Every structure is written in C-alpha cells, then in structure tokens.
Amino acid sequence: MTYSPAGTARDAATGNDIAARAERLKHIADDKAMLRAVAELTRDLGTANPRIFWTDFLLSALVGYAGLAIAILASPLWLKLGSGFVSVLALYRAGGFIHEVSHMKHASVPGFRFGFNAVIGVPLLVPSYMYEGVHNLHHARTRYGTDQDPEYLPLASMKPWTLPVFILVSILAPFALLFRNAVLAPLSLVIPPLRKLVVERYSGLVINPEFRRRPAEGEARRNWIWQETAASLWSIALLTAVLTAFIPLDAFLIFLIVVSAVAVLNQIRTLVAHLWENDGEPLSVTAQFLDSVNVPPPALMPALWAPVGLRYHALHHLLPSVPYHALGEAHRRLSAELDPDSAYHRANYKGLPGLAYRLAKSTMRRAA
C-alpha cells in the first residue's frame, strides 16, 4: 500500500501520532513529475559564481571580525552588546560557507577552500575537513534518516528534554574544539588508540552520537592533515597567549562568547532544518524532501538564521550541487511551474517559531 504526500501532510496537520507519521513517510512514493521538473528547470543553475562567493564571504567575515574587535575594545556596554550581536550574525553567515565547500566543485571557485579555512575555518576552530566527507553522507540515498546518517536524529519522537539539551550543549562547542585541537590532536600522534578515537568520534560536525567516521584517503587525507595541523597550532598559540597574559582574559572570554553564540544559532537552525519524523528506515527522495524544510520569501528573518541558501534546505536535498546563490531562482521556477497539489509546495513553511512549536508538540505528545 502507498500513501500520497498530501496524505502525509494532512496527518501531520491534524496532529496524528508521530509513529503513524513516520510509518506513512516510509511509504511515500517519488513524485516523478516534481523530480522531472527539478531536473529540467534547473539545468543552467549548477555553476558557482566566484565573484558572488568571494564578495559575500569576505564581506561577512570582515563585518564579523570588525564587530568582534569593537565588542572587545569598546567601553559602553550597549556598544559591546550591539557589536557582539552583529559579529555573531556576520560570522555565522561566513561560517555557513563550510556547507558550500563540502558540495562545490573546487575548480569553479579556485582557492576558496583555502580561503575559507584561512579566514574562518581555522580561526573559529571549524576547519572544513570536519564537514567534508561527512556532510555528503547525509545526502546519500540509502543513509538519510538512518543510524548511518551523521546529521540525523529522530528528534520528533524523542523526549521533550532532548530539545533544550540539543541546543544548550552547543554552548560548549568552542571549549570542546579547543581541547580537541590543543590537547587531543597532538597526543593522538603518539597514542594510536587515542588517534583512532579522535578520528572516529571527534573529527566531524555531527549530531548522531552513533556515527563513526572513517579515516580519509588521498587528497581528502592531505587536506585533513594540513587543516588539522593549522587548527592545532592556532589553538595552542591562542591558549598560550591567554595564559601568558599576551591576550587579556576578558578579550578571550568575549571571543568564546561570540563563538558559542554562533554555535547556538547554528544548532537552532539545525533544529528546524528537518521535521525529524523518520524512524530509521531508508526513504524515497520525495519522502526525504518532505521531511526537510524550505522557509522561502516573503519571510525575512530566515535570511539571518538560515543564510547562504540554508532557507532552501529541502530544495537543497533535491539539488545538492546547485550553489547557494542559485537556489532562490530554482525555487521561483519550480513554484511557478508545479501544480498546487505537487509535493514541492508541501515542504514550504512560514518561519522558525511554527517549526519549533511543531517539533516541541511532537515530543510532548510522545511523552504523554
């Protein structure tokens, strides 16, 4: 027996049990008309524009670091808070390019991987090797939503307390990354069992605690080595500078607060990137799409909390190789072309509050 995407949407809207929704999700057949339109209408959108990439990325980083500097150096509290807020948003946007690095054909924007890591990846302790080779598994047809997906948890069917814990744990991200790079990475070079642990458990930006990363090979391994070395040296130098008072403690704390805030904002965005209703079984492409979220215009706030194309997360699952700056045009074409009853329109949502409420309601119903 098969179920239509429309049926799944109605079940979700009426608040049926999450187990029933998960079961229906598994039986959604692919919407061939939608998938055909996606392929035909977006063929010319797959090329990254280097000018857009570099300008957006560098301006975001410049604003972010300028805001951080003002937050550290300014005296009035209102100026510290205001510039810190701007810094968080701008560095969050600049950091979002790690997602593009994991998908892009690097010949299309020469040097961008190095530029990202030099400007954002290493300084903010998230070099791109921690995402490359990991995020692509989230897009694997047979891995999405299973225990082999590094970026999926069945949050909708988990206990209510898991949601605040999911967000609050990200506050500790800069402390964990500093410890990983300054302590664990050097020690793992001389302690093989520790190296195995570091590679498998502490070398990826993942949310699935059961995921184990495999060692990289070839060019990916070379990229991993130089990025990890740079992050380790930077972390050691940063901590040494603080311990020797070369960098004032209050300046270091402001840096940690800003990085923590960036991590929390990203975790909140992750919380509403999917509906998280799969119970671990492989899904059709259309089912994966419907378990994911678009937050398109006219909503304005997603431009801040889901930047660099992340507001089109469901569409990205259909077009993982299309650069972020082309997703808006792809969405416009598909919205205009596809019939109102197409599955495509059922992945569009108004904003973060409604999505967060839906997820929280599911967990509360599960607890009851």
For the chain (368 residues), the mean pLDDT of every run of 10, in chain order, is 36 58 91 96 97 98 98 97 98 98 95 98 98 96 94 94 95 97 97 98 96 96 98 98 97 98 98 95 96 96 97 98 98 96 95 95 78
- CB-based burial of residue 344 (10 Å sphere; 0-12 exposed, 13-18 middle, 19+ buried)? buried
Cα–Cα distance for residue pair 183/121, rounded to 1 Å: 18
pLDDT at 13: 42
Handedness of CA 22, 28, 30, 34 (dihedral sign): negative
| Cα within 13 Å of Cα(291), Cβ side | 32
Question: Residue 16's pLDDT is what?
Answer: 54
SS3 call for 294: strand
What does the pLDDT read at residue 20? 86
Radius of gyration over every alpha carbon of the chain, rounded to an integer in angstroms: 21
CA distances to 99, 102, 261, 263, 330 from 322, rounded to whole Å, are 12, 12, 29, 25, 9
- For the record, the structure tokens of 178 come out as 């500093």
Q: How far apart are CA 362 and CA 16, in angstroms?
A: 9
Instruction: Give pTM, 2 decimals.
Output: 0.93
Specify whether the CB–CB gap between 84 and 64 falls below 8 A. no
Q: Give the pLDDT confidence score for residue 19 in this predicted structure.
A: 83
